[in-house]
Chains A and B, each alone.
Chain A
């Protein structure tokens, strides 16, 4: 799986001013991987995700996509690259004044030359892929939290992205909805062949879907392990084993 590197994080250091959050991060995400960024609360998982997406510039180091340095590229090249990302934000981040259909249609209207009725068809298709067929004309405030997450996923997939980023996809969902979302992520990865990077501390999700991971430590302010979560649970450093077994060693 690591033979074909899709994303490489190199010597990445994240800081707010002089305050270092994480330093010297080095890891590789293979094409088609489901990669989990793990770690305790406040260790910088979401910040790392933001820097990978390009919402914030790293203090040092860089991220490579398909071998190309993201942060060394020109503004236009970066925007072009970002268009190949699908991002699902923690609370869905659906635009509240637009219906679900309009939410999913917006990226298609902005970045493709498709006709209006083809966009309508694609939007309905994307919504039915996440099990929301028939909910086109609902506003985000009218649907449940789990449905918002799935609608957010439909929007993230609007442009057929090569990489999907998820920030805490199952936070706030009941176990069944969380499981359904995991299955959906797996199914979409398998059928679309997309690479998936997710931030989560839902252990069930980590073991169910991830095939590679990195563990960020808040005390040493750097990564202390990387690899398949199952292997880390048995033979990783103490801290990681304890995390993956909910404190039991």
Chain B
């Protein structure tokens, strides 16, 4: 005992040199550890209390002290309490010693510590553990993105084809779905969207009226606000705004619903029953949206016209009857038809994007989030592309 103490004291005195040799450490030698070595026999003694909540010695710091040891004796006579920090230290020591074929005597360790160490080494790790995923460089990322987008095209065509087949089954009465589902979906898409559609159409109508009025007032032609707002809302803006609202509101919801069902293997459950998830889940959603979109588009147009009238009457002094008559004479059935066709196309694309991304969803919470985002992005992208195409086509046809 006396001798051991003497050696420890010596250890403390030698410490400054050891510290100088080991440049990276500026901390004091840990009080929970004593290492002495003579003639290749190293004695490592764990003392005091080892807790993750306090300062714990790291094996990397003291490894050099065991560099020339042929045999290591572990001792824990003075160990008061320990947790994972001690196991971690000893596991690192054991790993290092095994790699260098140095024998380690563990008999003096507490029973629990020894068993945990045995457990930690019980299952050898795979020969090549997977490296952490590193961020790919810019060029590779662009390439991967392009390949992914390219592969998405056939997937979209295939999905569209499946929907067409499902529609054929639906029309011939062979599609399986719950009739109540459609009513429930229609309620979610239509009536529940009215407040937000009203608000946005009202504000957009207001903006159109103001922008037009500022220019028209230069010629004293405020009455033509009615033409501008009426034709603008009914033909273009109502459909576009409705499409974008539905992309954010309904397309995202569809992707999240189907994505979560994918995570819970609910869609697989439909497949194993021989029920097509396209018939049961996708088609009712497409139909619900396609049924509601024309109505929402017309409604949005009406709200926009009323907003324009409010501005024209209160701010620019146009008469209510005048405005109404001007609107009626400016609009014809073609304008309504164009607006409704556009709105319906946008709605169909939004439902398509939402269902596609939902069905493609991976199996984790993260994947559901990504599917929802992708559904909204794809929905708005498709709306924009189709808006340009339809405008050009109608222009060429003179509609």
Contact = CB atoms under 8 A, between A and B. Distances in A.
Nearest to A115: B58
Contacts of A137: 129-133
Contact of B116 (A96, A133, A134, A191): A191
Given A118-B56, A122-B88, A160-B83, A191 B365 contact: no
Contact of A97 (B88, B132, B365): B365
Contacts of A141: 362-364
A139 B84 contact: no
Contact of A118 (B58, B87, B115, B119): B58
B366 interface: yes
A122 B52 contact: yes
Contacts of B126: 134-135
> DSSP class of A's interface residues: helix, strand, loop or mixed?
loop
B112 A136 contact: no
Contact of A140 (B113, B125, B364): B364
A139 to B, nearest CB: 7
B115 A96 contact: no
B133 to A, nearest CB: 7
A117 B101 CA distance: 26
Interface string A160-200: 10000000000000000000000010011011110000000
B84 A125 contact: yes
Residue in A97, A136, A140, A191 whose Cβ sees the most chain B Cβ within 10 Å? A191
B52 A112 contact: yes
17 contacts: A96-B363, A96-B364, A112-B53, A113-B53, A125-B87, A125-B120, A133-B123, A133-B124, A134-B130, A135-B125, A135-B129, A136-B130, A141-B362, A159-B52, A160-B83, A192-B116, A193-B112
Interface string B91-134: 11000000000000000000111011001111111100111110
A31 interface: no
A101 to B, nearest CB: 8
Nearest to B125: A134
A193 B84 CA distance: 13
Contacts of B119: 129, 184, 187-188, 191
Contacts of B88: 118, 121-122, 125
Contacts of A118: 56, 58, 88
B361 to A, nearest CB: 12
B121 to A, nearest CB: 7
Interface string B360-384: 0011111000000000000000000
Contacts of B58: 118
B164 to A, nearest CB: 32
The 6 A-B residue pairs whose C-beta atoms are closest, nearest first, are A134-B125, A96-B364, A97-B366, A134-B129, A133-B125, A131-B123
A179 to B, nearest CB: 15
Nearest to A183: B119
